[in-house]
Structure 1
Amino acid sequence: MASQAPNMLPLLYQGLEPLNRNQHGNFKVRRQTGLDRVAGTHAIPVTVDEFSMVQRHFPIVFSSGENPVPIVLMGLHEGTNAFFDEKGIAIDPSIYVPAYLRRFPFLLARLREDTDELSLCFDPTSGAVGEFDEGEALFTGDEPSEATKAILQFCEQFEQAGQRTQAFMAELKQSELLMEGEVAIQPEGSDQPFIYRGFQMVDEEKFRNLRGDELRKLNQNGALPLIMAHMFSLSVIREIFGRQMRQGTGPASLRQPATADA
């Protein structure tokens, strides 16, 4: 999902540097309590492998444009996040953290556009990788450390999940099930509903009218439960609206003072 050449940086990444023993033989990776960059990010990419977990916490929608990808909404306005504080720490420790965030600052990337070979890279601006006194070593002598092997394995699993996600999106496009999304929320005390757009969603009417053989195909290739997870998750949009109102980041005309349980 994020395997791009370094000049096309994925969301949250501000730089990419391929990890190698000659340059980074003494580097360590240290655990960070939060990722401040996520605090102002309202949508995060997810893979189909995560849908069953994600639907409990976030609405799953699809980005706009010709090549949509699944994303979870963590805020209803750009620059807001109802689930992470300004330091990038989860407000609710039990919330599911998408794999996209958990693999940061690492990823597998194509270093040249003329090859499909992937290299393990990291964001040198993250503050998590460097010549620190504390942390886990990335190399043991001339070989990658156990920590690096675990990071590589996680990134490989993420890429494999990304391929399954691309196949699912191709199925949605082929079935012509995607439509421009719109959600209207009219809270008590408001004369007009608040309309949220800028994403895609499954067209429920088209989905209901699929022929039996089309539904059978979606069930056999695993797309049917993913579509259902997406549709069930949309109800969480109202919960995010409520979270933002309590946190003081909702629509200006309705903002309330933040409360301790926000």
Structure 2
Amino acid sequence: MVTSTTGPVVTAEMEEIAPALTREQLAELLTLLEGSDSVELKVTVPSTERRSTAEHLGMDVMDAEIRQVVFFDTPDLRLNKAGVVVRARRIQHRAGDSVVKLRPVDPAHLAGKLRHAAGFGVEVDALPGGFVCSGRMKAKVEDDLLRKVFAGEKPVHKLFTKHQRALYEEHAPDGLGLDDLAALGPINILKLKFEPEGYPRPLVAELWFYPDGGEILELSTKCAPGDAFAVTAETKEYLLAHGVDLDAPQQTKTRTALAYFAGR
């Protein structure tokens, strides 16, 4: 990453790697990367190309792990509109987790105490043509408790630590407690972490099954912020060579889920 006394410098190479972004967007991205802990590069695969993509990348569904996600919000998505995402996740044969996420965030404006709190991290999610920076506080949760909350047998706040609850209360709309939120879900997921031949890092494939029969297949990989452009170039080249259409319309898993459950 190139910097100067006046801030990050956008290079011609960066513009070539991310041609869909303007110079202003690239400068913003560089600033966000400087204050982030990690970067996740994502791309969603069109439904017509899922089978061929799985074959070209050597994905074996029998190695996939079953997961189940529930989001918590009001039917009119008041929480999401305030920039807060609350979710919990069950994971096959082991403990799951809960997350309170702020999105978008500017790392430079986060309080130092929060920035260094246990379980808190800042990550940039980058898709073809866009990016968003989020801060999230994550905690492990035993599966039995997750199952009971998902079934409505235990209150929602039981899934979250006191630090997560404090973060929620600071950023949620006034008067909207965790136990006021509706459970939006569950959504069943297959997650596969694999090492495709000819690609020097692990890839993750997630296939989300929505209740209306819709599906989203997302491919992703993580890297350090300082490696973001190099890994992006490397990943683009590999995926294009294996038939993945990076110009296809992109979908986000969370937004699609919330849109489906809103008002139901």
Could you say which TM-score interval applies, normalised by the shorter chain?
under 0.3
TM-score for the superposition, normalised by structure 2: 0.27
Flag the structure with higher strand content.
Answer: 2
Greater C-alpha Rg: 1
Provide the TM-score with structure 1 as the length reference. Answer: 0.27
